[in-house]
């Protein structure tokens, strides 16, 4: 996979400088080419492996997702860093967690995360359930423990009943595994179908503007699809950040060696899961460092660092316009009413570092 990326980068470098404006192919030809790389977001959720999407399980997952009492301080919930109303992110360079500590990486969106090959920038969680367990236990995030979490849930009859309804065949339904599976079920429903791009892929020639179509053509012609393809326009594999030229400064901060921390393999130094680009116009700032706030700048950095080509300004504008066409129908989530605490519920702990 990395070898093919280098070959594409070398080809793109030989082709530079780029044309000032991308030729506009016929709609049928452009669609045919795009369908070799992309799929539309489905209208219904994808069921996670080993899980089910019953209304009771999804509703329980929504309660857990929005409940700050899942953190030791009672301040932070999943929603804190993955705001459903902000494209699934928090709009910060890197997220703030327990003790007002700043995390090391930008929070990725959980919208359409069900379609990713794995979760987190380094892919250390194979699925959404495994991901849900991480922030709860991270000292820089929610700073909780499974034991304290389960004690909190068992102390509230509303949660005990909700777990029984969501996991009716289990003798002990309130568990850390089921906590994660319920959140996974809820997050699996957070998909964004019916973008202009999806409508175009399905046959609607008028769904995208000419500029967006030129951007799609440029996105494919310049080799962006080497890393950003599939249903989620990325998120499907791992690639080195900086094939041609490693970005410096805050874009690729010193000390973050990417997937190497997971695999301890030298080839995985500075390798990250390709960012899924669905709804990317909503999710600034960009990159795992969150160092770039402007999508136009992010596209320019990627063209030079990953592909070795300097795009002309009109082509950057075209690709940015295409990326805007990836914004789909946003989930309309009603904040759930949460179970009431009682005298046995563990009290929030001060955020003392």
Residues that are catalytic: 141
Per-residue CA distances from 61 to 54, 80, 328 (Å): 11, 15, 23
145: how many CB neighbours lie within 10 A of its CB? Answer: 13
User: CA 131, CA 116: separation in Å to the nearest integer?
Assistant: 12
81 is in an annotated binding site: yes
335 is in an annotated binding site: no
208 is in an annotated binding site: no
What is the sign of the dihedral through the CA atoms of 138, 184, 82 and 165? negative
Give the SS3 label for residue 34.
helix
Task: Confirm if 339 and 156 have CB atoms less than 8 A apart.
Answer: yes
- For residue 316, how many C-alpha atoms fall within 13 Å in the half-sphere facing its CB? 17
Q: Quote the DSSP letter at residue 286.
A: B
What token pair was written down for 347? Answer: 């009290």
Residue 128 backbone dihedrals phi, psi, to 5 degrees: -70, -30
Task: Confirm if 301 and 245 have CB atoms less than 8 A apart.
Answer: no
What token pair was written down for 51? Answer: 């899980």
Per-residue CA distances from 318 to 5, 7, 32, 193, 204 (Å): 22, 24, 19, 22, 20
Q: Quote the DSSP letter at residue 115.
A: G
82 is in an annotated binding site: yes
Query: Which of 249, 247, 270 shows the shortest CA–CA distance to 258?
Result: 270
Run of H or E residues at 182? helix 176-188
224 is in an annotated binding site: yes
> Which residue in the block uniquely carries the two structure tokens 């990725």?
108
78 is in an annotated binding site: yes
302 is in an annotated binding site: yes
Query: Which of 345, 351, 353, 349 shows the shortest CA–CA distance to 150?
Result: 345
Calculate the CA dihedral of residues 198, 203, 208, 211 and round it to 10 degrees.
110
Give residues with Cβ within 8 angstroms of 342, minimum separation 6. 155, 156, 157
Binding site as annotated, residues: 78, 81-82, 98, 224, 227-228, 302
Annotated binding site for heme c: 78, 81-82, 98, 224, 227-228, 302
């Amino acid at each position: 996979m990395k070898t093919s990326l280098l070959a594409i980068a070398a080809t793109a470098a030989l082709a530079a400088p780029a044309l000032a404006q991308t030729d506009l192919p016929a709609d049928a030809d452009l669609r045919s080419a795009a369908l070799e790389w992309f799929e539309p977001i489905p209208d219904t959720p994808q069921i996670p492996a080993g899980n089910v999407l019953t209304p009771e399980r999804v509703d329980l997952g929504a309660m857990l997702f929005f409940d700050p009492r899942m953190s030791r301080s009672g301040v932070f919930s999943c929603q804190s860093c993955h705001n459903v109303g902000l494209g699934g992110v928090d709009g910060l360079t890197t997220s703030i967690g327990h003790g007002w500590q700043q995390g090391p990486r930008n929070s990725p969106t959980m919208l359409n995360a069900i379609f990713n090959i794995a979760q987190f920038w380094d892919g250390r969680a194979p699925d959404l359930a495994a991901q849900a367990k991480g922030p709860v236990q991270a000292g820089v995030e929610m700073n909780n423990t499974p034991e304290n979490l389960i004690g909190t849930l068992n102390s509230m009859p509303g949660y005990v009943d909700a777990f029984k309804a969501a996991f009716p065949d289990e003798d002990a339904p309130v568990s850390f595994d089921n906590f994660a599976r319920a959140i996974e079920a809820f997050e699996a429903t957070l998909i964004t179908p019916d973008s202009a791009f999806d409508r175009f892929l399905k046959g609607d020639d008028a769904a995208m503007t000419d500029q967006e179509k030129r951007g799609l053509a440029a996105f494919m012609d310049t080799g962006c699809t080497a890393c950003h393809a599939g249903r989620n326009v990325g998120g499907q594999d791992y690639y080195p950040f900086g094939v041609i030229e490693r970005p410096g400064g805050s874009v690729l901060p010193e000390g973050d060696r990417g997937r190497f921390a997971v695999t301890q393999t030298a080839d995985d130094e500075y390798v990250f899961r390709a960012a899924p680009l669905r709804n990317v116009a909503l999710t600034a700032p960009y990159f795992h460092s969150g160092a770039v706030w402007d999508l136009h700048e992010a596209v320019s950095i990627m063209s030079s660092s990953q592909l070795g080509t300097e795009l002309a300004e009109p082509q950057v504008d075209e690709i940015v316009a295409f990326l805007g066409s990836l914004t789909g129908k946003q989930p309309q989530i009603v904040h759930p009413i949460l179970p009431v605490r009682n005298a046995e519920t563990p009290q929030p702990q001060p955020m003392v570092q």
